[in-house]
Structure 1
Amino acid sequence: MLAGPLRRSLKAMRLWNDRRLRLSLTGLGAQYLLALLAVGAFSVNTGNNLLYLVFSLMLGLFLVSGILSRRALQGLKVAGLEEGNLFARVRGGLRLRLEDGARGRARSRIRGLELHLVMDEAKVEPSFMGASSRSGETTVILQTRAERRGWARLRSLELRTRFPFGLLEKSRFIELDHSVLVLPHPRTPPAQPASWRGEGHRTVAQEGTSSPEGARPLRLGDTPARVHWKRTAQRSQPWVRTFEEERPLGLHLRLDLSAWGPGRPFERELERLSGAILQARLTKRDISLEIQGTEGTREIHGHAACWRALALAQAAGRGTGIGGEAPLS
């Protein structure tokens, strides 16, 4: 009859012998333990049954704290990681998806976990996870600041908790084999020098104030100077003119890898191009990137694709290079 409880107790003892788990006593736990020993010593010396009862209750509370916190660390595993747009030397977020292997109501139990992610050449701020969702999957956002562009490896994830009473701090380590791509720092591009070649402007019409486009019914805030008198007489109600203005259609960037050597000038050029991509995205302009290298010329379209191409670019020459950008043709 005692085989089942004995087996579970031995299994719990083996759990804390796991190299991926760590147990440490907090300041509050040390004070509680001293009080527990003091009560135990007084109960032995005096033989007072009430002190024995208090000692038993305090010891039971201490053991329950360890069992509940151990359960809070169990059942979680990493389901996935979404890197988004993570730039070098800029604070960004990593979305970590955790999957709970528990069943039923156990999924929504309170955990009180601190998440500490170890990432190469990056500082990741701790995040907090309260209760897991009933669906079994929970997303936690970790604020990250990487130091350089390119692939960065995630080493491990530490789950740390003092649940439920703060007497003991328990940690569980999950080894990770995942890499995220860090994009170049988006430096604000300077004014375009006149020496750059292949520059020109291409525009597309949109509603604005330069040339007549059509007419529409009068709206609140329209000025009387824009009234379309002929259409107003035809429709027997006020109509106003609509206009067009010119705006840039898109931006075309060029990068000649053979003209650049490894070093800080090449990295600054990548950061300038990254900043141009960011400005194009903020102004809702199309973007394309032409990369010339030893294997030929390739053209990339789209903001995310251009950023990833810059993050993986490697200088193939010895010079300082001359970059350029031009609106799309």
Structure 2
Amino acid sequence: MRFTKGGGLYVAATLLLGVSAVNTGNNLLFLIVAAMLSFMATTGVLGWLNIRGLALSVHLPDEVYAGTETFLSVTLANSKKFLPSFLIRVTVSGRATTFLMVEKGRAQSGSLLLSFPLRGPLQTLPASVSSPFPVNFFVRAAAVTVFQSCTVFPAPRGGMVPPPGGKPDAGEAASVAASGYDGELAKISDYRGGEPLKLIHWRLSAKHEVLKVKELTATAAEPLLLDLDLIPGRDLEQRLSFCTFLVNRLIKGGRPVGLKLGERVIPPATTRAHRLRLLTELAGYGKD
């Protein structure tokens, strides 16, 4: 619990009147101090009950990049109380969102922008639930550890992109339709965290609780094997960032891409699952 500015003044006034009542022996002052203490206790109990019984869960998109803000979905459920909760502030990793009312037996959803500074696996997120209810004198808060299994990919940093170079030779993987940036509209899907803003379907997103994005088609090109040791960069993190950019740019453009990490080789492909596998390998490289 912490005091707001108004709460600090209220406590100071209560203490001042209490000291005056003891020094003067005035019964009226004693009654006023008792009423003020009762009000403080009542609001404290109501504030404590207001944040009890709330279940917090979060959901990150499939694609989260280090140093890049992405939308985090926050769900707050009130399933253990008979009364609704009011003015609930949820803070996750320093970013906050507010729920005006969480009704009994129902869940409320919100979103906030979050950024992670380092690549690699993520298991937990620091969070807290707080509220100034019923009066803005005291803020009750409870720390919560949110378990969210996620992999933070290296921050993509652009550079020169290898040219397509034509179609695959006989015996290689056949060309397939893949997501791109400039093709025809293939379908509408949920926002996953890696799509550029120009692909967000704002009109359709306004009708749903989650953002919707347009997936465009693109034609496949010659397969390419990216060797991390040959990627330009002054250090490992810069090479990983450039390699992440190349994987996203080329596969989304329809080109089959593989990856060579030391002696390990991952054959080229164009599917989204393959792209996420390559990004996961880059995210965990050198972390062991």
Q: Same fold judged by TM-score > 0.5?
A: yes
Counterpart residue number, 2:88: 113
Counterpart check, 1:263 vs 2:236: yes
Aligned to 1:97: 75
Deviation at 1:66, TM superposition (A): 0.7
Q: 1:68 aligns with which of 33, 46, 53?
A: 46
Q: What's the counterpart of residue 266 of structure 2?
A: 297
Asked if the contact 2:126–2:145 (Cα under 8 Å) also holds between the matched residues in 1, the reply is yes
**Bigger Rg over Cα:** 1
SS of equivalent residue, structure 1 residue 71: helix
Please list every run of 5 or more consecutive structure 1 residues that lacks an aligned counterpart in the other structure. Answer: 1-22, 119-123, 205-246, 317-329
Matched residue, 1:310: 279
Which position in structure 2 is the counterpart of 1:163?
A: 133
Q: 1:219: which partner in 2?
A: none
Counterparts of residues 133-282 of structure 1 (less than 5 Å) = 133-190=103-160, 192=162, 199-200=165-166, 248-250=218-220, 254-257=225-228, 259=230, 263-276=236-249, 280=252
- Whether contact under 8 Å (2:258, 2:267) holds in the other structure is yes
Note the alpha carbon deviations across 1:255-293, whole angstroms, 9 max, x for none. 235656971452233232155169x3xxxx556432345
Opposite residue 115 of structure 1, the aligned amino acid is V
Which residue identity does 2:227 align to in structure 1?
D
Give me the TM-score of the superposition, normalised by structure 2: 0.65
Is 1:126 the counterpart of 2:96? The answer is: yes
Identity of aligned residues (%): 19
Compared CA separation, residues 172 and 265, structure 1 to 2 (3 A): closer
For structure 2, which runs of at least 5 residues remain unmatched after alignment? Answer: 169-174, 177-216
Look up the equivalent residue of 1:67 and give its one-letter code: V
Secondary structure at 1:53 match in 2: helix
Q: Deviations over 1:38-96 (max 9, x none)?
A: 33344445555543433232112111121111112211223453334322221112213
- Counterparts in 2 of 1:134 and 1:289: CA distance versus 1, 3 Å: farther
